[in-house]
Each structure stands twice: as C-alpha cells, then as structure tokens.
C-alpha cells in the first residue's frame, strides 16, 4: 500500500476531507520553499503538490507561470528538488507529489527519475501534459519504484477517457473543476457534483478537485463532493504579493489555516 493510499484510508476512517496545497519549488528560492513547506504542513496541509518549474507551462495561468519564471532564475535542477524533499522528510511524513510537465522528467530519464524520487521521499507524479495513452513508460518505471501516477480528468472528459484514466491511475484522480488554465476564480462550475458522481461510476480511487479554488467558501463547497481539495494559484498569489516581506512565510501559513478550517 502506497503512502497516498494509506493517507486516504485514514482520512476516510475519520470522515475527513483532505486539503492539498500546490506551490512551485524554488519560488522565490529553494531555501524559502523549504520554509513555506513547513508552514503549510504546520498549518494543516494533508498532502503537498510540489511544482517542478518549466519554461513553457501551457496548462498554467499567469500566477503559476510567474512563479515558474521566478524559480527558473535560480538555475536549479530536479536533483535540487529531490534534496529539498529529503530535508522535508526530516520533519514530516505527509505524501508529496511532484507536479510537472513531461519534458523535464523525460530528459532526466524515467527509471532514474523514479528511483531518485523514491529515495528522496516522493510519493508520486502528476504530469499535466501526459495523457494516459502515452504514459506506459513512466507508469512502468514509477510502479517499479512504488510510486503513484495521478491523472487528470476535466468537465470535457468522455466516458472512454474516464475509463482509461481509471485503468491507469493510482493514488487518486485529479478532477480539473474548470476548462482552461489554472488560476483563482470568483465562482465554480455548478455541475461539479454531478461530474464527480459520474467519475465515481468508473473508479473507486479517491477524487481530488483543483483549478480555480481560491477561498475558504469555495473549499467548503468543493469538499462536499470530493475526497480532497487542491489549492494552488491562490497560495502562490500570497507569495507573490509578499515577495521581500519578512512575514511572507507566516502569511502563507495563515492563509493555509483559513483554508484548512473550511474542510472541518
């Protein structure tokens, strides 16, 4: 049983919904990222999605694109991210997922990637531009290392795509709550509940909902339908708005606490 599966089993036994924050590794630098991760965990994060910066993040809106650009100015590598995860493992055992695009993972080497990720303490990959039809090689490498592969479904996903994801995915299924790119939004799709009900006819895996969730009220609403709520752009906006502020990490933690309270 993977750490992600064990985590969801524990939450289900307690009738709790998970809150999963996303941040970009290296934004604004790796040392600060480590402090932010600790603040998120201390403020109630149940799992972490750690973004791998990429020069062409086509699925991301302006907020996460800007975070990637800030991070890439530091000229670091996947090995630096693995070292970061290793340091986080000295104070936390919550699941950590690397969220990124296929090119950096492929260039690193899929077997090497999965081995090094597992040794660092990573629990799985979410590769936003890799459809399940083309994911065989990395799934094989990840499975050999005991890592989960999380796939995306969207409001436009067909029954055939839902079935295919159900066959390939492990850990949980990530439901993109809106069409388009990432980014905070004032309102959410009114059809989320029925979409999740349909996905559950294809898979018994937990379902997390992300993209566009930015307020405690939205977290509370989405938690009614899902097993996990994922918040990214809204958190990164707090980082962006407080760059250079010595209280930035504290402000990120306070925002995280307000989101976590909405899941209870």
97 in Cβ contact with 126 (< 8 Å)? yes
Structure-token pair, residue 154:
């969207």
Dihedral over alpha carbons 7, 10, 14, 19 (to 10 degrees) = 0
Q: Which of 27, 34, 46, 49 is catalytic?
A: 49
Q: Is 247 a catalytic residue?
A: no
For this structure, is 241 an active site residue?
no
- The Cα–Cα gap between 244 and 92 comes to 27
Catalytic residue among 27, 34, 46, 60: 60
* Sequential DSSP letters for the chain: --HHHHHHHHHHHTT--EEEEEEETTSS-HHHHHHHHHHHHHTT-SSEEEE---S--TT--HHHHHHHHHHHTT---HHHHHHHHHHHTTT--S-EEEEE-HHHHHHH-HHHHHHHHHHHT--EEEETT--GGG-HHHHHHHHHTT-EEEEEE-TT--HHHHHHHHHH--S-EEEESSSSS----SS--TTHHHHHHHHTTT--S-EEEESS--SHHHHHHHHTT-SEEEE-HHHHHHHHHTTT-TTHHHHHHHHHHHHHHTT-
Token code pair at residue 38:
């600790």
Q: Write out the catalytic residue numbers.
A: 49, 60
């Amino acid at each position: 049983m993977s750490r992600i599966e064990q985590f969801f089993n524990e939450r289900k036994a307690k009738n709790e919904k998970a809150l999963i924050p996303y941040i970009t590794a290296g934004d604004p630098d790796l040392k600060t990222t480590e402090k932010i991760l600790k603040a998120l965990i201390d403020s109630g994060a149940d799992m972490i999605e750690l973004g791998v910066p990429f020069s062409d993040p086509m699925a991301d809106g302006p907020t996460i694109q800007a975070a990637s650009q800030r991070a890439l100015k530091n000229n670091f590598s996947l090995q630096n991210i693995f070292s970061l995860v290793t340091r986080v493992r000295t104070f936390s055992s919550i699941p950590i997922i690397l969220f990124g695009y296929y090119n950096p993972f492929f260039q690193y080497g899929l077997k090497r990637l999965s081995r090094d990720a597992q040794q660092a303490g990573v629990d799985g990959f979410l590769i936003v531009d890799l459809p399940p039809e083309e994911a065989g090689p990395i799934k094989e490498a990840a499975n050999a290392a005991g890592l989960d592969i999380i796939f995306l479904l969207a409001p436009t996903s067909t029954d055939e795509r839902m079935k295919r994801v159900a066959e390939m995915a492990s850990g949980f299924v990530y439901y993109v709550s809106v069409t388009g790119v990432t980014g905070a939004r004032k309102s959410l799709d009114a059809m989320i509940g029925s979409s999740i009900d349909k996905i559950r006819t294809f898979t018994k895996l937990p379902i997390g909902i992300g993209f566009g969730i930015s307020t405690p009220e939205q977290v509370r609403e989405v938690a009614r339908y899902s097993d996990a709520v994922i918040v990214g752009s809204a958190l990164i906006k707090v980082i962006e708005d407080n760059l250079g502020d010595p209280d930035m990490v504290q402000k990120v933690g306070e925002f995280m606490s307000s989101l976590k309270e909405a899941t209870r």
